[in-house]
Structures are given as structure tokens and as C-alpha cells.
Amino acid sequence: MAAIRKQKIRHLLQGLIDIYSPSGKEEEVLDFVYRYLKKENISVIRQEIDESRHNIVVVPPDADPQLVLVGHLDTVAAYDLDHYSFVRKGNTVSGLGSADMKGGCAAMIEAYIAVWNELGGATPAALALVVGEEETGDGAEVFVKDYHFPWAIIGEPTDLKPCLSHYGYLEFQVTSRGKRRHASLAAKDNSPVDALLRFLLELSTYFEERYPELIYNIRDLFSSRAGFAVPERCEVWVDLHHPPDAPTGEITWDLEEFIDRFHQGQNHLDLTMRFHTIQTGYEIPEKGSLVTSLKKAYQEEGLLWTPGAFRSHSDANSLWESGLKPIMLGPGSLDQAHTADESIGFDQVCKAADLYYNVIRKV
């Protein structure tokens, strides 16, 4: 096996983290990665997303790839713009996006370069580095319109555990509306804010009793600015992650019935619910060429084969709906993602690169 260039991985990871690239503002990191790959004499395609953003795609000209390695180059917004860059202390690398998922991107890029240097255009895998994953997912949506491969490995943080199944995801918005009035006339039955708070309390109880396996997150709650008055509008956004085998359609139907029942008790207020995202989960059986190759690679790398489920929303949902079979596999842990002190183990990033290299060669 060719040696993965650990020093190159460290420099690449530092370069990726030191570039601030929240969703929608990825231009600088895209230019950095494009130049990095071109210096390695790799043929790079810029797949346009909008006027200033694009995906970076590599498709070997002399092969029929059955696998694509997928990573996203964007991050969430920085918790602190003065402290988001690369810091290394011993084996620990910290910085915005280190776990989600610039560590995975660095490992994929270096593994891909290693195989390309050996096989050139006959490399049996493609590479896609996309944008917008943390917000709209527009990079993945455009990618699957132009490209299709039977299998995908996505480098999201899984602690190097292969995730052959993936949670489904629902995102919905609930809005309560009433009439603006003087603050001294506020009452329980005429306040959109009070109505939405009571709705959320009942919704929480409903989830615990009806769907205890769901993971729900009250993401945003805000009202219209009213000054010394009862605001006329209040809204909340809720994320739901559900196990791969959960009945997505039944959950959405039950939620609509729940809000209808709640609405009937609100004489002076209007409550509406709108689903913005509905994506089912999926399960891949332990069969097929990529799974077989992965098992062999795990054995050779001295890693335990312990498949699990990826509990978060990701680009995999879009890839699955387009007909690809995505397996989640990357360095770092999900509990580090989106935190103020995000970090990753550098040794695990290097191990991920070894694993990706091994799998590409076996495909």
C-alpha cells in the first residue's frame, strides 16, 4: 500500500480550517481546493451552483467509476469569528469544521491523490466536494442532476464506524397569528406567543408518548417586533430526525392532525403548519460490491466492522433519493459537530485516509 502523506494531510487540513467557509460563502475554500488538486495534475471539473459557487468534481476519463467519495466544504457560521481557525495540541486538531467535515475532506483528498498518482485516469472512483450542505443542500442537489454512480461514501463524522443506514428528516414551521393590541390588554387567548408556547409544550408531550424514538429540536422561536404591544405573529421552526424504518408519511399525517386538534381550541388565533423538508431514512443491507470491499479494508486496517445508523440529516438523503447508495464513513464524532470548541483526532484523520485509499483500490 502506498504511504499516505501525513504531513500533507496536516497542511491541507490547516489550510481548509483556516479559510472561513460558512454555507453560501465557500468561494475562497473552493479556489484553495481547486488549486491544490490542479498542482497534483488532477483533472478538475467546476460544476456551477450559482454565479459565485460551484462543486468540485473529479471523474477519471479512462474508467467507469462505481464509487464516488463525497465531502462538503461548507461549515455552520462561526461561534466566534476571532477563534475559529486551526489549532493543534498533540493529537487534537480544533477549529471550525474540523469534525464536520474538513477532517473527512482532507482524508478523502489525500487518499484520492495517492490512488491517482498510481493509476491516473484509470482511478476506479470519482471525487465530489460540494457546497451548501449545512443549509440548503443545493450542492448535492445539483450534483445528482449531472452525475450518477452506484455507490457513494460520504465523509461525515462517524468515528470511522460504517453507517449503512440513515435517519430520516422532517423540517416544519408553525406560525400563530392574531391582532396587535396594547400590551396591557394581553390575555392567554389573544397572544400568538402564548399560543405557540402552549403548542410546543403539548407537542413535546405528544412526541414522548406517540413517537419516543424521534429526536426533535426546537430550532428557532421568534415573534414580530411589537414594542409595548401584543405581537401579531409568532413562529417556530422544528427539526425531526427519525429512525430509518420509521413511517415518515404516517408521522407527517399525525402532525397535521395534531395541529388541527390544537387549532380548534384557539378561538381568536390562527395556527398554520408548513413542511419545508420531508426526507425518508434508508437501510442498506450488508451486501454488494462496496460493502464487501469495505469489510476487507476494515480487516486489513485492523478496525472492527460495527455498522450503525447515522442519526443526523445530511446530503446522503438527497443522494439516496436520486438512486445512489450512500454509506456514511468519516473521522471525528457527531457530538463535536457544530460546537464552540469543535475538534478531531489527527491520527483518526490519517486512518480515514488509509481506509479510503484501501477501499478505492479494492473497488
Query: Could you give all domains of the chain from N- to C-terminal order, each with its CATH number?
Result: 6-166+282-362 (3.40.630.10), 168-279 (3.30.70.360)
Q: Report helix, strand or coil for 51.
A: coil
pLDDT > 70: percent of the chain: 98
The yes-or-no verdict on residue 191 having pLDDT over 90 is no
d(CA 349, CA 84): 19
Average pLDDT score over the chain: 93
pLDDT > 90: percent of the chain: 84
The yes-or-no verdict on residue 213 having pLDDT over 80 is yes
**pLDDT at position 187:** 79
CA angle 182, 187, 191 (to 5 degrees): 75
Who contacts 63 (Cβ-Cβ below 8 Å, separation ≥6)?
A: 121, 122, 123, 124
The yes-or-no verdict on residue 142 having pLDDT over 70 is yes
**pLDDT at position 267:** 61
The yes-or-no verdict on residue 2 having pLDDT over 70 is no
Mean pLDDT confidence for 284-311: 94
End-to-end CA distance of the chain: 15
Pairing, β 54-58 against β 126-130: antiparallel
The yes-or-no verdict on residue 70 having pLDDT over 70 is yes
Helix segments in 310-345, DSSP class H:
315-322
* Per-residue pLDDT tens over the stretch 102-127: 999 999 999 999 999 999 889 999 99
The yes-or-no verdict on residue 152 having pLDDT over 70 is yes
160: phi > 0 → left, psi -120 to 50 → alpha, else beta; which? left
Helix segments in the chain, DSSP class H:
6-18, 27-39, 103-119, 138-146, 192-210, 248-264, 289-300, 315-322, 346-362
**pLDDT at position 1:** 46
Q: Report helix, strand or coil for 294.
A: helix
The yes-or-no verdict on residue 262 having pLDDT over 90 is no
* Per-residue pLDDT tens over the stretch 347-363: 999 999 999 999 999 98
Who contacts 201 (Cβ-Cβ below 8 Å, separation ≥6)?
A: none
The CA distances from residue 32 to 19, 103, 235, in Å, are 9, 15, 40
- Whole-structure pTM value: 0.92
Who contacts 194 (Cβ-Cβ below 8 Å, separation ≥6)?
A: 188
271 or 36: which leads in pLDDT: 36
122-155: b (≥16 Cβ within 10 Å) or e: ebbbbbbbbbbbbeebbbbbbbbeebebebbbbb
Grid cell listed for 300: 486489513
**pLDDT at position 49:** 97
Residues recorded for the chain = 363
Task: Compute the chain's Rg from CA coordinates.
Answer: 23
Contact 104, 155 (CB under 8 A): yes
**pLDDT at position 269:** 76
The yes-or-no verdict on residue 335 having pLDDT over 50 is yes
Contact 45, 59 (CB under 8 A): yes
Using the structure block, give the residue that is written with the C-alpha cell 468561494. Answer: 27
6-18 and 103-119 helices, crossing angle to 10°: 130
Return the minimum-mean-pLDDT range out of 65-69, 126-130, 286-290: 286-290
